[in-house]
Amino acid sequence: EADIYQTPRYLVIGTGKKITLECSQTMGHDKMYWYQQDPGMELHLIHYSYGVNSTEKGDLSSESTVSRIRTEHFPLTLESARPSHTSQYLCASSHYYQGQETQYFGPGTRLLVL
Amino acid sequence: KQEVTQIPAALSVPEGENLVLNCSFTDSAIYNLQWFRQDPGKGLTSLLLIQSSQREQTSGRLNASLDKSSGRSTLYIAASQPGDSATYLCAATGGSYIPTFGRGTSLIVHP
């Protein structure tokens, strides 16, 4: 059973505010990911990390930043929230075990930017 | 760039039916193919993972197959139940080791 946590679960915020979405996992997984998902649409990769001090940009990275100072923690920051950022944000981690690499997802953060 | 397509986008069936969900991918050089379940407002739960060297995986009433040469995977659900109602997503992982997701099939199983 994977333990991956996201806070807050829901957030309503005004345009221009700086926000940080938190993600933590207790499995010691090296790889972590942030995705954005709109209803009925595919997941879009925002950022990912191969391990501590490693961060990479995905398809939608231009308006956000991440950090990976500790293995278990991978926060996502939006410097200036806009209504177009309204979406669900999913954090995931993965590990390689017995020839397989499986992703585990957190419950998500629903963001509404007014 | 890998593209993943899932058909149908939505499916409504009566309880007890056997059903097949389809997933196709454009780049056959994949590392693995994973099927997920997503309940409304929740994250994704991994159901089955098929390595590129495998043809199928089974878990309970679920069976997933993989045909790399044709770029297709199917998820077979036997004897569907109302509790199976959810969105099912497939994800193909290639050489970058980053999964590419489809849009999912929204399944409703009615009593």
pLDDT score at B33: 94
Q: Looking at per-residue confidence, does A75 or A100 come out higher?
A: A75
Report the C-alpha gap between B8 and A84 in whole angstroms: 28
Give CA separation, B107 vs B12, B73, B79, in Å. Answer: 6, 17, 14
Of B83, B100, B80, the residue nearest B27 (C-alpha): B100
Other CB atoms within a 10 A radius of the CB of residue B104 amount to 25
Average pLDDT, chain A: 92
pLDDT score at A102: 84
In this complex, which of A90, A92, A99 lies closest to B51 when CB atoms are compared? A99
Q: Looking at per-residue confidence, does A21 or A40 come out higher?
A: A21
A→B interface, C-beta within 8 Å:
4, 6, 31, 33, 35, 40-43, 45, 48, 58, 88, 90, 92, 99-108, 110
User: Cβ of A104 and B103 within 8 Å?
Assistant: no
- Does A79 score more than 90 pLDDT? yes
Angle at CA of residue A55, ends A53 and A57, nearest 5°: 170
Terminal Cα-to-Cα distance of chain A (whole angstroms): 36
User: Cβ of A105 and B103 within 8 Å?
Assistant: no
pLDDT one-digit tens code per residue, B11-26? 999 999 999 999 999 9
- Does A98 score more than 90 pLDDT? no
Q: How confident is the model at residue A2 (pLDDT cuts 50, 70, 90)?
A: low
Specify the amino acid at residue B39.
D
pLDDT one-digit tens code per residue, B61-104? 999 999 999 999 999 999 999 999 999 999 999 877 889 999 99
Cis check for the bond before A8: say yes or no (omega within 30 of 0): yes
Sort out which chain A residues have CB atoms less than 8 A from B101's CB and list them. 35, 42-43
User: Cβ of B41 and A110 within 8 Å?
Assistant: yes
pLDDT score at A1: 52
Rounded to the nearest angstrom, the minimum Cα separation between A99 and chain B is: 8
pLDDT one-digit tens code per residue, B56-70? 999 999 999 999 999
The continuous run of DSSP H or E covering B25 comes out as: strand B19-25
Q: Looking at per-residue confidence, does A11 or A39 come out higher?
A: A11
Nearest CA in chain B to A98: B51
pLDDT score at A16: 95
